[in-house]
């Protein structure tokens, strides 16, 4: 009986084992996860869960009973320590050894942290990656506290929004010239800068953190422009890195994460990878997409291929972010864009990215209709003339038939 071992019990890992059973795979399946709870969704950790609007059980991707009901051996509070690709075994931290026919790495990513030399290991300095992180920081988000958010990407902005809604006085610092510099156009950055300013968040751009101050617990911060802040806690949102240590130890090829082919296989044909830890080929490059949609799609393609249903992975990137009363939805990848066109209809707004004459991505703020139209246009390879996009009288749905 073939045995599939999946290491990493997050969105990708859960999606992979569920899809294996859905596709009729009747061999043994073991899902190994380092946390004590069943696989859960992570995006709400920095949004609804941190606000107290979502109970822990609602985070779970599937009921705990799902795994037993589908004869999936779910091993929680367990970490893999080594892979032997020759013997096809995985060693766990409790010294158990699992033998596999197929191994799937869905190890995800980990947040980049601040060096201890500048106060990164002080108390009340938080990152947002897992349930334990969110639980640890939740008590700090209380009325009248002062917070420093380090990093102006989506994680930092989401944390700033939650803090402001909880009555926290928030300063956010971004060492780059502007917030969202790596991931969005200036037009989108302007939109969210204004949104945060309207809620009292002080965003400081082009300024970094020199060091955090405190004995055991953080009490202040010195910025690179010499400004000193009194703070009660800090949230670090300076990006994530793919979790590749196990893959490296197994001698797998690493290229912007664990390199896979279009079917999800690594450089070892018996080992597969999916989710934040994995990169896939696109336009001659190995790209890694940090999103829920990618984790699900990539993991399900791997499951299909293991089950014998030959299926290439075709990325269809989509992302979202919730800040205050704004829902941002993103379709496509804006890599290499050279023009952005803004469409406004009432309170809704969308930004359309073009590379030459090709539509490649859309940012939609409180504009779900145009988000869906943009997503369908991109997937169909259709690129309407920009003057149609910005014309408020254009029947956008008609563009799908053009």
Pairwise CA distance, residues 155 & 241, whole Å: 14
CATH class of 113-236: alpha beta
113-236 and 325-400: identical CATH topology: no
pLDDT per position as a tens digit, 127-173: 988 999 999 999 999 999 999 999 999 999 999 999 999 999 999 99
Pairwise CA distance, residues 252 & 147, whole Å: 41
Query: 3-110+240-306, superfamily in CATH?
Result: FAD/NAD(P)-binding domain (3.50.50.60)
- State residue 303 phi and psi, 5-degree precision: -60, -45
What does the pLDDT read at residue 259? 98
CB atoms within 10 A of CB 270: 12
What does the pLDDT read at residue 178? 97
What does the pLDDT read at residue 52? 87
Domain boundaries, the chain: 3-110+240-306, 113-236, 325-400
Counting as low any pLDDT under 70, the low residues of the chain are none
50, 140, 290, 355, 381 from 319: Cα distances, Å: 20, 28, 9, 20, 19
What does the pLDDT read at residue 345? 87
What does the pLDDT read at residue 50? 87
Pairwise CA distance, residues 16 & 255, whole Å: 22
Q: What is the DSSP string of 232-274?
A: SEEEE-S-EEE--HHHHHTT--BSSSEE--TTSB-SSTTEEE-
What does the pLDDT read at residue 151? 97
- The yes or no reply on domain 325-400 and CATH 3.30.390.30 is yes
Q: Which of 352, 383, 321 has its CA nearest to residue 48?
A: 321
What does the pLDDT read at residue 189? 98
Entry pTM: 0.94
What does the pLDDT read at residue 46? 85
What does the pLDDT read at residue 291? 92
What are the tokens at 270? 């018996």
Q: Which of 243, 15, 4 has its CA nearest to residue 104?
A: 4
What does the pLDDT read at residue 64? 87
What does the pLDDT read at residue 27? 97
């Amino acid at each position: 009986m073939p045995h599939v071992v999946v290491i990493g019990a997050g969105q990708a890992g859960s999606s992979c084992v569920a899809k294996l059973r859905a596709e009729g795979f009747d061999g043994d399946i073991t899902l190994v996860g380092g946390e004590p709870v069943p696989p859960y969704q992570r995006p709400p950790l920095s949004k609804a869960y941190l606000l107290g609007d979502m109970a822990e059980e609602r985070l779970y991707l599937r009921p705990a009973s799902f795994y037993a009901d589908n004869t999936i051996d779910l091993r929680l509070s367990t970490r893999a320590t080594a892979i032997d690709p020759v013997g096809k075994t995985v060693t766990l931290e409790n010294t158990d050894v699992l033998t596999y026919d197929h191994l799937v790495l869905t190890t995800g990513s980990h947040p980049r942290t601040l060096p201890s030399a500048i106060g990164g290991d002080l108390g009340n300095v938080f990152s947002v990656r897992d349930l334990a992180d969110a639980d640890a920081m939740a008590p700090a988000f209380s009325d009248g506290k002062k917070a420093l958010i380090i990093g102006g990407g989506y994680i930092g902005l989401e944390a700033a929004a939650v803090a402001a809604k909880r009555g926290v006085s928030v300063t956010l610092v971004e060492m780059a010239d502007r917030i969202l510099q790596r991931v969005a156009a200036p037009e989108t950055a302007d939109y969210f800068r204004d949104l945060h300013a309207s809620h009292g968040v002080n965003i400081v751009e082009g300024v970094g953190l020199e060091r955090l101050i405190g004995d055991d617990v953080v009490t202040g911060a010195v910025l690179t422009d010499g400004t000193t802040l009194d703070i009660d806690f800090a949230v670090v949102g300076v990006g994530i890195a793919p979790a590749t240590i196990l893959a490296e130890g197994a001698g797998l090829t690493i290229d912007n994460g664990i390199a896979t082919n279009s079917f999800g296989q690594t450089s070892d044909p018996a080992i597969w990878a999916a989710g934040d830890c994995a990169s896939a080929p696109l336009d001659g490059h190995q790209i890694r997409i940090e999103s829920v949609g990618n984790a699900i799609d990539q993991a399900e393609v791997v499951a299909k291929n293991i089950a014998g249903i030959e299926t290439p992975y075709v990325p269809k990137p989509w992302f979202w972010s919730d800040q205050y009363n704004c829902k941002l939805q993103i379709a496509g990848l804006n890599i290499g864009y050279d023009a952005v066109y803004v469409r406004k209809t009432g309170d809704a707004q969308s930004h359309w990215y073009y590379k030459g004459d090709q539509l490649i991505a859309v940012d939609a703020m409180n504009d779900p209709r145009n988000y869906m139209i943009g997503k369908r246009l991109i997937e169909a390879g259709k690129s309407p003339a920009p003057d149609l996009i910005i014309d408020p009288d254009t029947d956008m749905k008609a563009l799908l038939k053009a």
